[in-house]
Amino acid sequence: MEIFRNLNIDFIAIGLRILLAFITVVAGRTLAHMTRRGLLKTLQKTDLTESLNTLIITLSYYTIIILSFLLALVILGVPVTVVVTSVGLIVVVLAIALQQSLGDLAATVNFLLFKPFVVGDIIETSRIMGVVREIQMFSTVIVSPDHKTHVLPNSKIQSAGLANYSKIGTIRLDLSFGISYESDVDKAKEILARLLAEDERVLAEPPPQIFVQNLADSQVEIAAWPFVQIADFLAFRKDITGNVKKAFDEAGVVIPYPQRDVHLINQNE
Protein backbone atom coordinates (compact mmCIF):
# COMPACT_ATOMS: atom_id res chain seq x y z
CA MET A 1 0.00 0.00 0.00
CA GLU A 2 2.90 2.32 0.77
CA ILE A 3 4.16 1.83 -2.77
CA PHE A 4 0.79 2.92 -4.26
CA ARG A 5 0.72 5.97 -1.95
CA ASN A 6 4.17 6.95 -3.19
CA LEU A 7 2.96 6.62 -6.79
CA ASN A 8 0.18 9.08 -5.90
CA ILE A 9 -2.48 7.06 -7.74
CA ASP A 10 -6.06 8.06 -6.98
CA PHE A 11 -7.84 4.73 -7.34
CA ILE A 12 -11.16 6.24 -6.32
CA ALA A 13 -11.02 8.79 -9.15
CA ILE A 14 -9.99 6.11 -11.63
CA GLY A 15 -12.77 3.85 -10.46
CA LEU A 16 -15.31 6.64 -10.79
CA ARG A 17 -14.11 7.38 -14.32
CA ILE A 18 -14.40 3.73 -15.30
CA LEU A 19 -17.86 3.50 -13.73
CA LEU A 20 -19.00 6.69 -15.44
CA ALA A 21 -17.62 5.50 -18.80
CA PHE A 22 -19.43 2.19 -18.37
CA ILE A 23 -22.67 3.97 -17.50
CA THR A 24 -22.21 6.18 -20.58
CA VAL A 25 -21.85 3.16 -22.88
CA VAL A 26 -24.86 1.42 -21.32
CA ALA A 27 -26.92 4.61 -21.48
CA GLY A 28 -25.90 5.10 -25.11
CA ARG A 29 -26.95 1.59 -25.99
CA THR A 30 -30.27 2.05 -24.17
CA LEU A 31 -30.84 5.36 -25.94
CA ALA A 32 -30.02 3.73 -29.29
CA HIS A 33 -32.62 1.00 -28.68
CA MET A 34 -35.22 3.57 -27.60
CA THR A 35 -34.47 5.70 -30.66
CA ARG A 36 -34.80 2.69 -32.94
CA ARG A 37 -38.20 1.78 -31.49
CA GLY A 38 -39.38 5.39 -31.62
CA LEU A 39 -38.25 5.89 -35.21
CA LEU A 40 -39.87 2.62 -36.23
CA LYS A 41 -43.26 3.77 -34.93
CA THR A 42 -42.86 7.25 -36.39
CA LEU A 43 -41.62 6.24 -39.83
CA GLN A 44 -44.38 3.66 -40.26
CA LYS A 45 -46.82 6.58 -40.35
CA THR A 46 -44.97 8.29 -43.21
CA ASP A 47 -44.96 7.65 -46.96
CA LEU A 48 -41.30 6.64 -46.96
CA THR A 49 -40.39 3.22 -48.33
CA GLU A 50 -39.56 0.35 -46.01
CA SER A 51 -35.98 0.32 -47.30
CA LEU A 52 -35.51 4.01 -46.51
CA ASN A 53 -37.00 3.49 -43.05
CA THR A 54 -34.52 0.67 -42.40
CA LEU A 55 -31.63 2.83 -43.59
CA ILE A 56 -32.59 5.76 -41.34
CA ILE A 57 -33.10 3.53 -38.30
CA THR A 58 -29.81 1.66 -38.83
CA LEU A 59 -27.75 4.82 -39.30
CA SER A 60 -29.34 6.48 -36.26
CA TYR A 61 -28.77 3.42 -34.08
CA TYR A 62 -25.08 3.02 -34.85
CA THR A 63 -24.42 6.77 -34.73
CA ILE A 64 -25.62 6.88 -31.12
CA ILE A 65 -23.59 3.76 -30.23
CA ILE A 66 -20.40 5.23 -31.71
CA LEU A 67 -20.90 8.65 -30.08
CA SER A 68 -21.47 7.08 -26.66
CA PHE A 69 -18.29 5.01 -27.05
CA LEU A 70 -16.27 8.10 -28.01
CA LEU A 71 -17.70 10.01 -25.04
CA ALA A 72 -16.69 7.13 -22.77
CA LEU A 73 -13.11 7.41 -24.05
CA VAL A 74 -13.07 11.11 -23.20
CA ILE A 75 -14.40 10.36 -19.70
CA LEU A 76 -11.60 7.83 -19.21
CA GLY A 77 -9.11 10.62 -19.82
CA VAL A 78 -8.26 10.18 -23.48
CA PRO A 79 -7.63 13.70 -24.87
CA VAL A 80 -10.35 15.02 -27.15
CA THR A 81 -7.80 15.86 -29.84
CA VAL A 82 -6.57 12.27 -29.84
CA VAL A 83 -10.14 10.97 -30.13
CA VAL A 84 -10.97 13.37 -32.97
CA THR A 85 -7.73 12.60 -34.82
CA SER A 86 -8.22 8.86 -34.41
CA VAL A 87 -11.79 9.07 -35.65
CA GLY A 88 -10.63 11.10 -38.65
CA LEU A 89 -7.98 8.53 -39.54
CA ILE A 90 -10.45 5.67 -39.14
CA VAL A 91 -12.95 7.46 -41.38
CA VAL A 92 -10.30 8.02 -44.07
CA VAL A 93 -9.15 4.39 -43.95
CA LEU A 94 -12.71 3.09 -44.05
CA ALA A 95 -13.59 5.44 -46.91
CA ILE A 96 -10.71 4.05 -48.96
CA ALA A 97 -11.32 0.43 -48.02
CA LEU A 98 -15.09 0.64 -48.45
CA GLN A 99 -15.17 2.90 -51.48
CA GLN A 100 -17.39 0.53 -53.44
CA SER A 101 -19.76 -0.01 -50.52
CA LEU A 102 -20.02 3.72 -49.87
CA GLY A 103 -20.80 4.25 -53.55
CA ASP A 104 -23.53 1.62 -53.29
CA LEU A 105 -24.88 3.27 -50.14
CA ALA A 106 -24.95 6.69 -51.82
CA ALA A 107 -26.81 5.19 -54.77
CA THR A 108 -29.29 3.56 -52.37
CA VAL A 109 -30.02 6.91 -50.73
CA ASN A 110 -30.52 8.43 -54.18
CA PHE A 111 -32.94 5.66 -55.18
CA LEU A 112 -34.94 5.91 -51.97
CA LEU A 113 -35.19 9.70 -52.04
CA PHE A 114 -35.90 10.31 -55.74
CA LYS A 115 -37.59 6.94 -56.45
CA PRO A 116 -36.57 6.18 -60.06
CA PHE A 117 -38.09 2.80 -59.21
CA VAL A 118 -39.79 1.16 -56.24
CA VAL A 119 -40.41 -2.39 -55.12
CA GLY A 120 -42.79 -4.09 -57.56
CA ASP A 121 -41.71 -2.09 -60.62
CA ILE A 122 -40.57 -3.84 -63.79
CA ILE A 123 -37.21 -2.40 -64.82
CA GLU A 124 -34.37 -3.21 -67.18
CA THR A 125 -30.75 -2.46 -66.37
CA SER A 126 -27.43 -3.95 -67.46
CA ARG A 127 -29.35 -6.22 -69.90
CA ILE A 128 -31.40 -7.66 -67.03
CA MET A 129 -35.16 -7.23 -67.02
CA GLY A 130 -37.44 -8.20 -64.17
CA VAL A 131 -39.48 -7.23 -61.13
CA VAL A 132 -37.82 -5.33 -58.28
CA ARG A 133 -38.28 -7.50 -55.20
CA GLU A 134 -36.17 -5.58 -52.68
CA ILE A 135 -34.01 -2.47 -52.41
CA GLN A 136 -31.32 -3.37 -49.89
CA MET A 137 -28.75 -1.10 -48.28
CA PHE A 138 -26.10 -1.80 -50.92
CA SER A 139 -27.88 -3.72 -53.68
CA THR A 140 -31.20 -4.31 -55.43
CA VAL A 141 -32.85 -7.70 -55.92
CA ILE A 142 -34.47 -8.26 -59.34
CA VAL A 143 -36.40 -11.39 -60.34
CA SER A 144 -36.39 -11.99 -64.11
CA PRO A 145 -39.22 -13.73 -66.03
CA ASP A 146 -37.30 -17.04 -65.93
CA HIS A 147 -37.42 -16.83 -62.09
CA LYS A 148 -33.72 -16.08 -61.74
CA THR A 149 -32.86 -13.82 -58.82
CA HIS A 150 -30.33 -11.12 -59.70
CA VAL A 151 -28.58 -9.10 -56.99
CA LEU A 152 -27.06 -5.96 -58.53
CA PRO A 153 -24.93 -3.35 -56.73
CA ASN A 154 -26.85 -0.09 -56.58
CA SER A 155 -23.88 1.91 -57.85
CA LYS A 156 -23.82 -0.29 -60.97
CA ILE A 157 -27.51 0.35 -61.60
CA GLN A 158 -26.99 4.08 -61.16
CA SER A 159 -24.02 4.21 -63.53
CA ALA A 160 -25.55 1.90 -66.16
CA GLY A 161 -28.94 3.60 -66.12
CA LEU A 162 -32.28 1.84 -66.22
CA ALA A 163 -35.58 1.66 -68.05
CA ASN A 164 -38.66 1.64 -65.82
CA TYR A 165 -41.57 -0.01 -67.62
CA SER A 166 -43.97 0.53 -64.72
CA LYS A 167 -43.79 4.34 -64.50
CA ILE A 168 -46.32 4.92 -67.28
CA GLY A 169 -47.94 1.51 -67.05
CA THR A 170 -47.92 0.72 -70.76
CA ILE A 171 -45.23 -0.50 -73.13
CA ARG A 172 -44.78 -0.75 -76.89
CA LEU A 173 -43.70 -4.06 -78.38
CA ASP A 174 -41.48 -3.82 -81.44
CA LEU A 175 -42.49 -6.91 -83.41
CA SER A 176 -41.08 -7.90 -86.79
CA PHE A 177 -42.31 -10.62 -89.16
CA GLY A 178 -40.65 -11.69 -92.40
CA ILE A 179 -42.61 -12.76 -95.49
CA SER A 180 -41.40 -13.86 -98.91
CA TYR A 181 -41.13 -11.38 -101.77
CA GLU A 182 -43.81 -13.36 -103.63
CA SER A 183 -46.36 -12.96 -100.80
CA ASP A 184 -48.94 -10.17 -100.71
CA VAL A 185 -47.64 -7.45 -98.39
CA ASP A 186 -51.04 -5.78 -98.02
CA LYS A 187 -52.65 -9.08 -97.05
CA ALA A 188 -49.96 -9.68 -94.42
CA LYS A 189 -50.52 -6.20 -92.99
CA GLU A 190 -54.29 -6.79 -92.90
CA ILE A 191 -53.78 -10.05 -91.01
CA LEU A 192 -51.56 -8.34 -88.45
CA ALA A 193 -54.06 -5.50 -88.04
CA ARG A 194 -56.90 -7.99 -87.52
CA LEU A 195 -54.99 -10.04 -84.94
CA LEU A 196 -54.07 -6.94 -82.98
CA ALA A 197 -57.63 -5.59 -83.13
CA GLU A 198 -59.08 -8.89 -81.90
CA ASP A 199 -56.71 -9.12 -78.94
CA GLU A 200 -58.22 -7.29 -75.94
CA ARG A 201 -54.77 -6.75 -74.47
CA VAL A 202 -53.78 -4.39 -77.28
CA LEU A 203 -54.61 -0.77 -76.43
CA ALA A 204 -56.68 1.30 -78.83
CA GLU A 205 -54.72 4.42 -77.90
CA PRO A 206 -52.11 4.94 -79.05
CA PRO A 207 -53.11 2.82 -82.07
CA PRO A 208 -50.80 0.06 -83.32
CA GLN A 209 -48.51 0.90 -86.22
CA ILE A 210 -47.96 -1.64 -89.02
CA PHE A 211 -45.52 -0.94 -91.85
CA VAL A 212 -42.80 -2.40 -94.07
CA GLN A 213 -39.65 -2.00 -92.03
CA ASN A 214 -36.93 -3.49 -94.21
CA LEU A 215 -36.26 -5.25 -97.51
CA ALA A 216 -33.88 -7.99 -96.44
CA ASP A 217 -31.95 -10.48 -98.59
CA SER A 218 -34.65 -13.16 -98.64
CA GLN A 219 -37.69 -11.57 -97.02
CA VAL A 220 -39.79 -8.45 -96.60
CA GLU A 221 -39.81 -7.46 -92.93
CA ILE A 222 -43.12 -6.07 -91.66
CA ALA A 223 -43.08 -4.27 -88.31
CA ALA A 224 -45.98 -4.17 -85.87
CA TRP A 225 -45.85 -1.79 -82.90
CA PRO A 226 -48.77 -2.41 -80.52
CA PHE A 227 -49.08 -0.93 -77.02
CA VAL A 228 -50.14 -3.14 -74.10
CA GLN A 229 -50.39 -2.86 -70.34
CA ILE A 230 -47.13 -3.75 -68.65
CA ALA A 231 -48.90 -6.58 -66.82
CA ASP A 232 -49.80 -8.17 -70.19
CA PHE A 233 -46.40 -7.65 -71.80
CA LEU A 234 -44.83 -11.09 -71.38
CA ALA A 235 -47.99 -13.11 -72.04
CA PHE A 236 -48.88 -11.13 -75.16
CA ARG A 237 -45.37 -11.37 -76.58
CA LYS A 238 -45.50 -15.13 -76.06
CA ASP A 239 -48.90 -15.53 -77.76
CA ILE A 240 -48.68 -13.19 -80.73
CA THR A 241 -45.88 -14.97 -82.61
CA GLY A 242 -47.74 -18.27 -82.74
CA ASN A 243 -50.99 -16.55 -83.71
CA VAL A 244 -49.30 -14.73 -86.59
CA LYS A 245 -47.66 -17.93 -87.87
CA LYS A 246 -51.00 -19.76 -87.86
CA ALA A 247 -52.84 -16.90 -89.57
CA PHE A 248 -50.13 -16.51 -92.23
CA ASP A 249 -50.27 -20.23 -93.01
CA GLU A 250 -54.06 -20.16 -93.39
CA ALA A 251 -53.89 -17.15 -95.73
CA GLY A 252 -51.03 -18.49 -97.82
CA VAL A 253 -48.56 -15.85 -96.69
CA VAL A 254 -45.15 -17.52 -96.82
CA ILE A 255 -42.50 -17.07 -94.15
CA PRO A 256 -39.35 -17.89 -96.15
CA TYR A 257 -36.30 -19.87 -95.21
CA PRO A 258 -33.02 -17.95 -95.40
CA GLN A 259 -31.71 -18.21 -98.96
CA ARG A 260 -28.29 -17.68 -100.46
CA ASP A 261 -27.19 -17.87 -104.09
CA VAL A 262 -23.88 -19.69 -104.65
CA HIS A 263 -22.06 -19.07 -107.94
CA LEU A 264 -19.53 -21.75 -108.97
CA ILE A 265 -16.64 -20.69 -111.18
CA ASN A 266 -15.14 -23.30 -113.48
CA GLN A 267 -11.45 -22.44 -113.61
CA ASN A 268 -10.90 -24.82 -116.55
CA GLU A 269 -12.93 -22.62 -118.85
Q: Is residue 68 part of a domain?
A: yes
Domain CATH for 27:
1.10.287
**CATH number for position 152:** 2.30.30.60
DSSP 165: S
Task: Classify residue 84: in a domain, yes or no.
Answer: yes
Distances in Å between the Cα of 104 and the Cα atoms of 49, 149, 248 are: 18, 19, 51
pLDDT in tens, 153-202: 999 999 999 999 888 889 899 999 999 999 999 999 999 999 999 999 99
- Structurally, the chain folds into a number of domains equal to 3
Shared domain for 148 and 93, answered yes or no, is no
Q: Which of 47-56, 94-103, 160-169 has the highest mean pLDDT?
A: 160-169
Same domain, 174 and 153: no
The pLDDT of residue 175: 95
> Quick check: is 159 in a domain?
yes
Clarify whether residues 140 and 189 are in a common domain: no
The boundaries of the domain holding residue 69 are: 10-97
| Phi, psi (rounded to 5 degrees) for 131 | -95, 135
Residues 14 and 93 in one domain: yes
Q: Is residue 105 part of a domain?
A: no
Judgement on whether residues 177 and 154 belong to the same structural domain of the protein = no
- Do residues 133 and 68 share a domain? no
Residue 5 has a pLDDT of 55
CA distance 74 to 100: 32
DSSP 202: B
Residues 15 and 38 in one domain: yes
pLDDT at 91: 76
**Does residue 269 fall inside a structural domain?**
no
The confidence band for 112, taking pLDDT boundaries of 50, 70 and 90, is confident
Return d(Cα 141, Cα 126) in angstroms, integer.
13
Average pLDDT score over residue span 250-259: 84
* Same domain, yes or no: 74 and 131: no
Q: What is the DSSP string of 203-245?
A: -SSSPPEEEEEEE-SS-EEEEEE-EEEGGGHHHHHHHHHHHHH
pLDDT score of 83: 76
| 156 and 177 within one domain | no
Q: Is residue 229 part of a domain?
A: yes
Residues 6+ apart with CB under 8 A from 146: none
Percent of the chain with pLDDT over 70: 88
- Higher local confidence (pLDDT), 184 or 47: 184
Query: Does the pTM of the predicted model rise above 0.85?
Result: no
Please report whether residue 5 resides in a domain. no
Residue 47 has pLDDT above 80, yes or no: no
Of the chain, the end-to-end C-alpha distance in Å amounts to: 122
CATH number at 229 reads 3.30.70.100
What digits encode the pLDDT tens for the residues 114-143? 889 998 999 999 999 999 998 888 899 999
Residue 38: is its pLDDT beyond 80? yes
Distance CA 150, CA 142 (A): 5
Q: What is the mean pLDDT of the chain?
A: 86
Contact status, residue 137 vs residue 55, Cβ threshold 8 Å: yes
